[in-house]
Amino acid sequence: MNDVLCSPVIATTIATAYAEDGYFFPYDVISETEAAGLLADLEAAEAEVAADRARLSMLRSYPAQLLPSFARLIRQPRLIEAVSQIIGPDLLVWSCGFFIKEPSAKSYVSWHQDLNYWGLDGEQEVTAWLALTPATVENGCMRFVPGSHEKKVVPHVDSFAQDNLLTRGQEIAIEVDEASAVNVVLRAGQASFHHGHMFHASGPNGTSLRRVGVAIRYVAPSMKQVSGDKLLVSHVSGKDEYGHFDVMPPPAGRLLEEDFDRARRNTEMKRGILYKDVKPELVKETRRA
Ligand SMILES: O=C(O)CCC(=O)C(=O)O
């Protein structure tokens, strides 16, 4: 993996742009070849567990718990360096999961803010979204509304729409200035970073190739789970002097039974958080944010 760290100029640029706009991109993390290697590892694992829907869903929702290659990715020095500029050097990964849009799929993500339903008490959180395939306008890259993170959490409505990739099909209930939105175009191996209050969305994939990105949710250890159980998290940088979350070790191998057991526990706890107050018949197996 590429271990060239940020120059002081880039570090200042990330911190300044993020504070002003609520996001920063594009940021080179790994090479296209390395991104293709991670995608190949994911796709091999998908093929291995394809017959078991629950395992396939866990693989897509918890790759850093099940595949050593993704456990390394969430600790990648370029990612840690950039995220440290935003929320400091002590970092946990609260969750890490894929957003996959299959070829010509109608799947989309409605305008939303991440921290709306996560049950966390603060905003010391940043998402690094790393492209494993190119993210383009045609295949449904994310869109960000610059400066919208300053609005704090705004009201959302739940649509439970079939093709919406979000847990509850949640959607911002106030006007979104879509005309000012920027397209988050990335090459494979690049990342974007966004604030938990950023207004963001993405459209369907109109191409004949998969669009695959991995969303890594970094939090400062001072953050607390105030609704639901505290998830099992990964400690990826610096110290954790708070102990607010239970820390799990990285996987000792590929697709191990003990790691599926942990992923199962995390799935149950995360459902309790993301689907709080939702009728059981509306709970879907594969939604993730
Ligand atoms: O991958 C996408 O299109 C949406 C991702 C997203 O909403 C997120 O990472 O918070």
Q: Does residue 4 lie in a domain region? A: no
CA 204 – ligand 1 centroid, Å: 12
Q: Report the pocket of ligand 1 as residue ranges, CB < 6 Å.
A: 99, 109, 114, 127, 129, 142, 200, 202, 213, 215, 289
Number of domains composing the chain:
1
Q: Does residue 287 lie in a domain region? A: no
**What is the total residue count of the chain?**
289
| DSSP H or E stretch at residue 262 | helix 257-274
Q: What is the mean pLDDT of each run of 10 residues along the chain (289 residues)?
A: 60 90 97 98 98 97 97 98 97 97 96 94 97 98 97 90 90 96 98 98 98 98 90 96 96 98 93 76 60
CA distance 83 to 89: 8
pLDDT of residue 271: 84
CA 111 – ligand 1 centroid, Å: 10
Q: Does residue 246 lie in a domain region? A: yes
Cβ contact 131:39 at 8 Å = no
- What CATH number is attached to the domain comprising 157? 2.60.120.620
Amino acid (1-letter code) at residue 32: E
CA distance 29 to 194: 15
Q: Does residue 2 lie in a domain region? A: no
Cβ contact 151:111 at 8 Å = no
Q: Does residue 1 lie in a domain region? A: no
- Which regions of the chain does DSSP assign to beta strands (E)? 23-28, 91-101, 109-112, 125-131, 142-144, 156-158, 170-172, 182-183, 190-195, 200-202, 211-219, 232-237, 246-247
Q: Does residue 15 lie in a domain region? A: no
Residue 57 structural domain: 26-282
pLDDT of residue 138: 98
Q: Does residue 91 lie in a domain region? A: yes
CA 107 – ligand 1 centroid, Å: 11
pLDDT of residue 289: 58
Q: Does residue 89 lie in a domain region? A: yes
Strand partners, 144: 182, 200
Q: Output the six-digit token pair for 82.
A: 């950039």
